[in-house]
Amino acid sequence: MNEQALSETLRTAGYIADEGLVTTLWFSQALERPLLLEGDAGVGKTAVAGALAKALARRLIRLQCYEGLDLQQAAYEWNYARQLLAIRLHEHGTAMAERDLFALDYLLERPLLAALTSDVPAVLLIDEVDRADEAFEAYLLEALADWQITIPELGRVVARHIPLVVLTSNRTRELSDALRRRCLYYYVDYPTLERETAIVRATLPDAASQLVEDAVAFVQRLRKEDLEKNPGIAETLDWVRALHKLELRALPEDPDTVLRTLICLLKTHDDRFQMSGERVRALVEGRRSGAVAVSA
């Protein structure tokens, strides 16, 4: 599949990617290297994996990282309860060798192993890898570089099909160089006006065209304000959905009405507190004059 086709299938799967991202995804596939996506929360990093799985008709396997994530939750775990049961059953029956207890039958596959042993090619999403501990990051190296996992009792488990791996990070901590260098890298930025408009139109086809244009332009200007948490694409979609539910055909001129709906966009107390009717008016007026409102 060439880049053009990949772009089209992603679009069909509901993800409108810019050219750079499509090229990187294509390279990730062609070079069989994991892809590390960084960017602010809400810019659509996680959605890339979902859309990719849908576009390529692959199984999506997700590993959600968090502090304290360990091998048992990420790669594999022995099914002790089943092993115990097997021992009890064999106490009065035939003899059982130790190696029988450490066979694949007694292994619980967690996402990493599942992605490597999957019968069909999979997309493995390792989400928010920065939240996991550094030790876990080191463990990932073997899986991502050599496409294998070493289980002491069994030996090496090599991938049947090399999965397409997407790692995401919000940069709550710096990832190690070793991990970064094994991955391709792409910084997902906030979308341009055109792309965000296209995304909203594709997701909410019933919303009035004027409303979508006004709302997206407003959000683009809002992101240039000095906010603690910039609204992401998900917030834009929520907001346009809310405005659409209010049966609005365009952005209301009354700043107070807009202000009341901004709970969909502003997610911290400070941002909410500093957004007065006056600032909203300036942002809305920026739409009319075509200028960009910048806070003092």
Binding positions for other proteins, rule: CB under 8 A: 3, 19-20, 23-24, 26-28, 30-31, 33, 35, 38, 67-68, 80-81, 84, 170-174, 177, 180-181, 184-187
Among residues 26 and 198, whose Cβ is nearest to other proteins? 26
CB 203 within 8 Å of CB 14: yes
**Closest CA relative to residue 210, chosen from 238, 248, 259:** 248
Tokens describing residue 180: 């970064």
Nearest distance from residue 54's CB to other proteins, in Å? Answer: 22
Nearest distance from residue 191's CB to other proteins, in Å? Answer: 16
Among residues 81 and 246, whose Cβ is nearest to other proteins? 81
Nearest distance from residue 62's CB to other proteins, in Å? Answer: 22
Nearest distance from residue 206's CB to other proteins, in Å? Answer: 34
259 alpha carbon, distance to own chain's centre:
29
Q: Print burial letters for 229-265: b (CB count within 10 Å at least 16), e (below 16).
A: ebbbbebbbbbbbbbbeeebeebbeebeebbebbebb
CB 6 within 8 Å of CB 25: yes
Among residues 187 and 245, whose Cβ is nearest to other proteins? 187
Among residues 27 and 54, whose Cβ is nearest to other proteins? 27
Among residues 185 and 210, whose Cβ is nearest to other proteins? 185
Nearest distance from residue 247's CB to other proteins, in Å? Answer: 38
Q: Cα 42–273–260 angle (5° rounding)?
A: 75
What's the alpha-carbon Rg for the chain, to the nearest Å? 24
Tokens describing residue 157: 């488990």
Among residues 184 and 250, whose Cβ is nearest to other proteins? 184
Separation between Cα atoms, residue 230 and residue 273, nearest integer Å: 14
Among residues 27 and 250, whose Cβ is nearest to other proteins? 27
Q: Which residues contact 223 (CB under 8 A, 6 or more apart)?
A: 190, 230, 231
Tokens describing residue 18: 């810019």
Nearest distance from residue 158's CB to other proteins, in Å? Answer: 21
Tokens describing residue 131: 């939240």
Among residues 81 and 89, whose Cβ is nearest to other proteins? 81
Instruction: Please give the span between the terminal C-alpha atoms of the chain, in angstroms, as a whole number.
Output: 49
Nearest distance from residue 14's CB to other proteins, in Å? Answer: 23
CB 51 within 8 Å of CB 11: no
Nearest distance from residue 284's CB to other proteins, in Å? Answer: 25
Burial class (CB in 10 A: 0-12, 13-18, 19+), 74: buried
